[in-house]
Structure 1
Amino acid sequence: MIHRRLIDIQDMVSGSGLLSSNENQLIEGVSIDSRTVKQGNLFIPIIRLKDGHLYVREAIKNGAVATLWLKNHPNPPTDIPVIFVDDTLVALQSLAKNYRKQLSVKVIGITGSNGKTTTKDMVSSIAKTTFTVHKTKGNLNSEYGLPLTVLEVSEKDDIVVLEMGMSQRGEIEMLSTIAQPNIAIITMIGVSHIANLGSKEEIANAKLEIITGLQEKGTFIYNGDEPLLQKINDRFHKKQLRTLTFGEQSSSNDFYPTKIEMNSGFMQFCINHNDSPVFTMNIIGKHNVYNALAAIAVGKELGIPMKTIANGLQKVKLTDMRMQKIMGANGLTIINDAWNASPHSVRMAIETFQELVGYRNKILVLGDMLELGEKEVDYHKEIGQRISPNKIDYLFTYGNLSKHIAMEAQKYFERNRVFSYTNKNALIENLTRTVESQDIVLVKGSRGMRLEDVVNILL
């Protein structure tokens, strides 16, 4: 993590007001949460729903040795060093950006409508076979999370894998400018956040902002099946970027699968490179093969042999709530994919789930897909049309939008096989009466639906 003198910190954040007697005070690490401050931290009081300045005293009690402070904000502390700044969030981002410049690491930046976290986990697992790696924890991919992740990087690390999330134009550009990646990945373009951005084309343009911070002669890896990502423009030529593509189509991609086999708990696949072995992953979902292709491309760029890349993929452990297979009570199997949902990710999850065999009943629990704009009802209806009554035994939906999934599916299912709820407790009550030993349940919905509550009851 960052370990610098306060005089250097002040310079990195364009701050002022540090007393000369405190210039050589060292800080180790940064926190924006007074509850998690560690000894030696610099505390940065962010103003969000609450004013972080109100928690500086608690941060000091928990070990903070210095703080930033918004100019003109009243009552700065007098018992620890203070650096005054114009905007504490901008200061956090500037500190991370300047720290990144001082690090001799390679940074891999990852964005996309779906698959960011899974691809991050795969890239990290591959890179760890050969290098010392630091990666984004959980889902800390925002204007706060990414700079905090950068500031946690050790000067002994070789590789940093950063996930970049967004909901508006300009956000990926800002994160990319902080991260200054050597390699950038766009996993795919979907319709998540279309309510904010207006069109899939604008979503693609927002994701392409990752090129802004990509270093000269860096590598841009993207989904070659997506026409919206094939806009090779001046940003590519000016930076002399190397481009690599992955996807399903053999005619338009540098990396594509030649064979995919899926079992109940793992997958095997081959790709179009002569030096590649058979890849095995202890996860399911055809869509994860394409995430793996992006990760394999990174491994090749880092000079890792294909056999070593295969070993890294086989050992990958996905972040929780991403097609996470867990055992519940009395032999029940649960696939927890409740972190988030979009039309693409729900379709892929259902496709995977429908192909699973060896279970007594297969039960779908789906929640609303949020932030889909004016076509949100249509997107939910389309999901309902994709659920096969020959491959799914029961469907439970939760939310005002997902009732349209149920209404469409009900056209094809027998009575008492489809249930729609706007009360989560009522859903859980019926679900727990329905599930039996040797059943399997897939749980998926947008973050705001908090369907992990259903998973926790089934455990």
Structure 2
Amino acid sequence: MTPLWTAQEAQQATGGTGPQAWSATGVSIDTRELQSGDLFVALKDVRDGHEFVAQALAAGAAAALVSHRPEGVAEDAPLLIVPDVLKALEELGIAARARMHGKVIAVTGSVGKTGTKDMLRSVLGEVGIVHAAERSFNNHWGVPLTLARMPRETDFAVIEIGMNAPGEIAPLSRLARPHVAIVTTVAAVHAAAFTDVRGIAREKASIVAGLEPGGTAILNRDDATYRTVRRRAERAGASIVTFGGAGRPMFRLISTRLRGATTCAIARVRGDRLLFKLGTPGRHLAMNAMAVLAAVEAVGADVAQAAMRLGRWSAPDGRGARWRIRLGQAAIDGSLLLIDDAYNANPTSMAAAFDVLDAAEPKNGIGRVAKGRRVAFLTDMLELGPDAERHHAALADLRAIERIDRIHCAGPLMRALHKALPPARRGEWYATADELAARAGRLLDAGDVALVKGSKGSRASRVVDAVLKLGQAVPAQSTEDEDA
């Protein structure tokens, strides 16, 4: 196997010192996920990674990137010693980007970043070697880590870039040096750090800061802040490509139809009619797919072929994954459908998730309750600023709420929604996700469709875990699975 990094290459990239007798096949920052042959990077976060260097080397790490030799580590251990570990990781990322001769696509947006990244990885993976992070590694250490892991023979790299505060996206874009920059959408997410949504738009638009000369900016024409984002892209000299559902964008989503576990869509691409399907329901996902197809065109791949490949893409765990929970031995007590959207939440993505739940069909006559129900388990949406309670209460005004039979809530912010709900739809409220999770089994029945959604920090995944444990969980990736 060709090494990802040799000691000499890593030293040249970082200016570090140490023995030159090692080569690494990967890069890891976590001993729990480390593979034999990885370069272990001793970052400082909640814990100082230097505390785990000895453990990493014992587990088969090829070497460790450190700022000093930790106590208990042999003097002849394969260490790459640098003044600043995070800075050295950035330098590895810069070197990896410099030696890669393929195309780089950077993705940002208030919602839809990870789904768009995963779609791109899926459709481009059939025409070349694609590199993208397995999870949402999109921050000040996640982007350089993703770059540092990039094989030199990569044809397409998809780099997700996020932010929590002003000034974070532009430096990461300059590290990635994308040929294509996508802004999926702009919404009031991470609002606590910004005065208004225009400030968020300006920050998202800064993804063009590192755009390669002649690069392409793919922008959502439907966004209220579209002109703000476009002006920044134009100043950067980007070629502008638009997508959306209204007006005359270059990549226009005309209509969608949700059926079971799929989305059927009709689009118009530069005037030509295009039909495609997704292996996950959601109009918002079909809109993300328009950005994907625009990026495929921008990197010189075939749009029609990519549209066909979209049908094989389905949402990952925490982002709309669907599970059939078979209750009792051999499903003797029936089954229910779980929609796991527990990784993140904001008002925009919450509305999209309600639409997906609305489109799902419960099964009648198979449970203790004769009529199958749509049931939502919701935990707090975080980082919404001083208007957070208002944003939560406003969810009660969404039209899709009318088709949800029961809405159970957890967390201090979700109490605002709980109070605003019509009594007929108001379920139970608990202070924590753990308390709601403990009740989940008694709040569901065979034939139900359950949606779990909330911000990662509010622990919505605890409810997902509780529902999965109610029976035998199998992926529901087709209409047949949904109808089981």
Q: Same fold (TM over 0.5)?
A: yes
Alpha carbons 1:399, 1:422 under 8 Å: kept:
yes
- TM-superposed deviation, 1:254: 1.3
1:148 to 145, 149, 155: 145
- TM-superposed deviation, 1:344: 0.8
Work out the number of aligned pairs and report it.
451
Corresponding letter in the other structure for 2:376: L
Alpha carbons 1:338, 1:452 under 8 Å: kept:
yes
User: Which residue number corresponds to residue 365 of structure 1?
Assistant: 377
User: Which residue number corresponds to residue 305 of structure 1?
Assistant: 302
Alpha carbons 2:198, 2:228 under 8 Å: kept:
no
Corresponding letter in the other structure for 2:454: G
User: Which residue number corresponds to residue 346 of structure 2?
Assistant: 342
Q: Distance in 2 between matches of 1:130 and 1:357?
A: 37
Q: Distance in 1 between matches of 2:287 and 2:114?
A: 13
User: Which residue number corresponds to residue 445 of structure 1?
Assistant: 454
1:399 aligns with 2:403: no
- TM-superposed deviation, 1:332: 0.4
Q: Secondary structure at the match of 2:144?
A: helix
1:244-269 per-position Cα deviation (integer Å, ceiling 9, x unaligned): 11112123x21112222222221111
User: Which residue number corresponds to residue 105 of structure 1?
Assistant: 102
Alpha carbons 1:264, 1:284 under 8 Å: kept:
yes
Corresponding letter in the other structure for 1:263: R
1:59-458 alignment, distance < 5 Å: 59-70=56-67, 77-231=74-228, 236-237=233-234, 239-251=236-248, 253-273=249-269, 274-328=271-325, 329=327, 330-359=334-363, 360-386=372-398, 390-409=402-421, 412-414=422-424, 417-458=426-467
RMSD between superposed Cα atoms in Å: 2.4
- TM-superposed deviation, 1:424: 3.7
Identify if the C-alpha distance between structure 1 residues 394 and 101 changes in structure 2 by more than 3 Å, giving closer, same or farther.
same
Q: Distance in 2 between matches of 1:235 and 1:367?
A: 36
Q: Quick one: percent identity of the two aligned structures?
A: 29
Alpha carbons 1:97, 1:177 under 8 Å: kept:
no
- TM-superposed deviation, 1:24: 5.9
Corresponding letter in the other structure for 2:446: S
| Structure 1, unaligned runs of 5 or more | none
Q: Distance in 2 between matches of 1:231 and 1:294?
A: 18
- TM-superposed deviation, 1:232: 6.3
Alpha carbons 1:114, 1:345 under 8 Å: kept:
yes
Q: Distance in 2 between matches of 1:60 and 1:425?
A: 37
Q: Which stretch shifts more, 79-88 or 439-448?
A: 79-88
Q: Distance in 2 between matches of 1:318 and 1:157?
A: 24
User: Which residue number corresponds to residue 12 of structure 1?
Assistant: 13
Alpha carbons 2:360, 2:449 under 8 Å: kept:
no
- TM-superposed deviation, 1:353: 1.9
- TM-superposed deviation, 1:388: 5.6
Q: Which stretch shifts more, 232-241 or 96-105?
A: 232-241
Alpha carbons 2:257, 2:264 under 8 Å: kept:
yes
- TM-superposed deviation, 1:69: 2.9
Identify if the C-alpha distance between structure 1 residues 167 and 26 changes in structure 2 by more than 3 Å, giving closer, same or farther.
same
1:216-255 per-position Cα deviation (integer Å, ceiling 9, x unaligned): 111111111224242367864565321111112123x211
| Structure 2, unaligned runs of 5 or more | 328-333, 364-371, 469-484
Corresponding letter in the other structure for 1:66: A
Corresponding letter in the other structure for 2:266: C
Corresponding letter in the other structure for 1:197: F
Q: Distance in 2 between matches of 1:117 and 1:233?
A: 22
Alpha carbons 1:266, 1:280 under 8 Å: kept:
yes
1:288-314 per-position Cα deviation (integer Å, ceiling 9, x unaligned): 111011011112223333431122110
TM-score of the aligned structures, taking structure 1 as reference length = 0.91
- TM-superposed deviation, 1:12: 0.9
Q: Distance in 1 between matches of 2:235 and 2:423?
A: 56
Q: Which stretch shifts more, 62-71 or 106-115?
A: 62-71
